Structure 1
């Protein structure tokens, strides 16, 4: 398979997870009446999906080391297809929540195993470049899927969102079955549970691995902290509409995408560690700039927080592909396990950062507490990464 075809397939696989997550969001208000429930319960269709997306990575990565990349990807996509169409027959909110939870386990397959496949085939710097290209789907899919979901829900009802995801996953499954070869190296024999546990212990006791994981988790926590605080700041404190928030948020998405593209172009030439340091530098600059602008214009509008976020998101786009490539390169024979660990940690820390910032901002009258929180995460990411890499 050519590099271009493989890249397109991995991007399609990666898109399944964020597509399934976000496509249902516009339909959730209508589900309250349709399924005779309350908003908090309907929200579980999103929050439990996120939890499943995080936890499943801990299992899927080691399973791909044990049984191979190809069978685990095929099984995961098949599970996504089955659960997507099963959701059509949910007659209660409980049934829908269960279907979504199982859907998340299958839909995360492309995210976690796609990284392992890339590391199987390419060296560390080239892997960072490839992951940079694939990671753009983590921005594109969340941007377009709410629009698709809203149109489908308005025209046909919420059920069509699951039909769309099921058909997409089915097409990707067929493409994978026909084209994707087994990429796990021949010298990796896929040992049993004790072997996998040994590999996990080796990774978790490696300063270099922990440094890359910390850079990915705390580096992306700057984005999740903004995600948790910005809606309240923009809509609640600045009296802007939700539509205005969405429009301003494009700056953040654009910054992350441009960072991914820069990583894809430059990682091979500059190296993983230099790209991580550069990304952390952009994050620190953006965080300090946010504090300075908010301090000068405490009652300013969205222009005080969103433009500086471009630099933070750009830095995030630079460091994430390289942090992941570095983490899965510590022990290439355990690339699946490493990918699962870094993915789970990133999402878990991100969830904590978003929830914590949301609570802090709800008690404040300006954007300053959010800005300070973002700066603290950027400083922690830079100092923690530097300390661990010195020990490596």
Structure 2
């Protein structure tokens, strides 16, 4: 097994590596969104309620969150390649077993295991990017990966709908297993070890605990962790409430909703690509500040349009601007959190991913208890964005007062 050039060598993602890493980071959307069109059919065949059928999404989300805390630190100790390959293999197996489920309770357990296994791909892919790149190039690489990650939530349910023309919900899980086989083949052929033995952590479980505790004790890392979690809360809120806002409140047709959802996804991807083009010149920290301010203004516009009942177009324009800002800030936040911790990129990536899944999955349902209209959606996004700005101010304060972080990252030549 040959080590991939790291830290200064190999300053770009080859097309194959880019596609494989992007596919790995899309494990979450693939595992959750691909079978959404078949949820009613699943509930009917297994003889269960809609709420229990929807619980298969929650159990997978829990697995994706918790699994990262296992796979990420493990990859710091034993290297990236083998935990990644084992995770993808087990994800493939559990996907096929899901297709063979005969009861909802068996499926719930398998979905939890599927999430735990898929988490390895999500968390280790981020760590590999950090292994391969330094400085602002890390943010640029994450921006490029958003081409796949941002499109996956849109393509997955559409692909699932097309597969359903020829099969049932079981066939969707078989299809998910087939997709993971292709990703596994790409991992074997393209990805090599990026975390050589002399950089690996020692100390077993105790060393892992100390590493995680050290990361959480760092006010700068903690600030970016909070910003990433709040960004995820905004995105989950939009995803969970948009159908209610557009279809029930504004009377948009299913086709119109799909179009709006796709346009906003384009905004998400566009924001990430503009960020990738600008980050070498301005640096991820400066761009993150601009993006958060832009999102605050746009989120206020969403709230204003909702309160004034100004019409659908007036609501959608600032919402699209929020999506553009979100696409860029995701790459910058992840890069800024990981850059100082190349020696513990797996553990740092695990905390980032877990916080995003848990905070995002918790805030959206809590907000929906207040309501699912445009005012609640806009206010939740606005509050999360304002709190992100406060967290970023705390990061700047920590950089001024903490010697280890006294030099902010801007650009490199």
TM-score, with structure 2 as normaliser = 0.89
1-structure distance, mates of 2:23, 2:251: 38
Q: Tell whether 2:84 aligns with 1:77.
A: no
Q: Tell whether 2:131 aligns with 1:120.
A: yes
User: After the TM superposition, which of the residue ranges 368-377 and 159-168 deviates more from structure 2?
Assistant: 368-377
**3-state SS in 1 of match to 2:276:** helix
Q: Contact conserved, 2:232 with 2:356, CA < 8 A, in 1?
A: yes
2-structure distance, mates of 1:227, 1:79: 29
Q: Tell whether 2:347 aligns with 1:340.
A: no
Tell me the CA shift for residue 263 of structure 1.
2.2
Q: Contact conserved, 2:87 with 2:120, CA < 8 A, in 1?
A: yes
User: After the TM superposition, which of the residue ranges 35-44 and 68-77 deviates more from structure 2?
Assistant: 35-44
Partner of residue 280 from structure 1, selected from 289, 292, 309? 292
Paired position in structure 2 for 1:316: 326
Tell me the CA shift for residue 116 of structure 1.
0.5
Map 1:65-104 to 2 at 5 A: 65-104=76-115
Tell me the CA shift for residue 146 of structure 1.
0.7
Partner of residue 257 from structure 2, selected from 232, 245, 267? 245
User: After the TM superposition, which of the residue ranges 233-242 and 342-351 deviates more from structure 2?
Assistant: 233-242
Q: Tell whether 2:376 aligns with 1:369.
A: yes
Partner of residue 213 from structure 2, selected from 173, 197, 201? 201
Tell me the alpha carbon deviations over residues 210-258 of structure 1, each in whole angstroms, 9 at most, x when there is no partner: 1211221223322223233333222333333344323222232111111
Map 1:173-322 to 2 at 5 A: 173-191=184-202, 192-296=204-308, 298=309, 300-322=310-332
2-structure distance, mates of 1:136, 1:360: 34
1-structure distance, mates of 2:43, 2:97: 19
Paired position in structure 2 for 1:29: 40
Paired position in structure 2 for 1:351: 361
2-structure distance, mates of 1:125, 1:185: 23
Tell me the CA shift for residue 301 of structure 1.
4.0
Tell me the CA shift for residue 275 of structure 1.
1.8
1-structure distance, mates of 2:352, 2:231: 12
1-structure distance, mates of 2:363, 2:313: 23
Structure 1 residues 369 and 180: alpha-carbon distance in aligned structure 2, compared to 1, 3 A threshold = closer
Q: Contact conserved, 1:287 with 1:375, CA < 8 A, in 2?
A: yes
Q: Contact conserved, 1:211 with 1:389, CA < 8 A, in 2?
A: no
Tell me the CA shift for residue 77 of structure 1.
0.4
Structure 1 residues 189 and 16: alpha-carbon distance in aligned structure 2, compared to 1, 3 A threshold = closer
Structure 1 residues 179 and 371: alpha-carbon distance in aligned structure 2, compared to 1, 3 A threshold = closer
2-structure distance, mates of 1:301, 1:95: 46
**3-state SS in 2 of match to 1:136:** helix
Gapped regions of structure 1 (runs ≥ 5): none
Tell me the CA shift for residue 17 of structure 1.
2.9
Q: Give every structure 1 segment of 4 or more consecutive aligned residues whose post-TM-superposition deviation is greater than 4 Å.
A: none
**3-state SS in 1 of match to 2:192:** coil
RMSD of equivalent CA atoms: 1.8
Tell me the CA shift for residue 186 of structure 1.
4.0
Q: Contact conserved, 2:238 with 2:377, CA < 8 A, in 1?
A: yes
Tell me the alpha carbon deviations over residues 138-164 of structure 1, each in whole angstroms, 9 at most, x when there is no partner: 221111111111121232111221121
1-structure distance, mates of 2:190, 2:263: 36
Paired position in structure 1 for 2:411: none
Paired position in structure 2 for 1:147: 158
Q: Contact conserved, 2:301 with 2:315, CA < 8 A, in 1?
A: no
TM-score, with structure 1 as normaliser = 0.93
Give the number of equivalent residue pairs: 387
Gapped regions of structure 2 (runs ≥ 5): 5-9, 400-413
Tell me the alpha carbon deviations over residues 54-106 of structure 1, each in whole angstroms, 9 at most, x when there is no partner: 12111111111111100111011001111111122211122222222211122
Q: Contact conserved, 2:91 with 2:177, CA < 8 A, in 1?
A: yes
**3-state SS in 2 of match to 1:91:** coil
1-structure distance, mates of 2:88, 2:343: 24
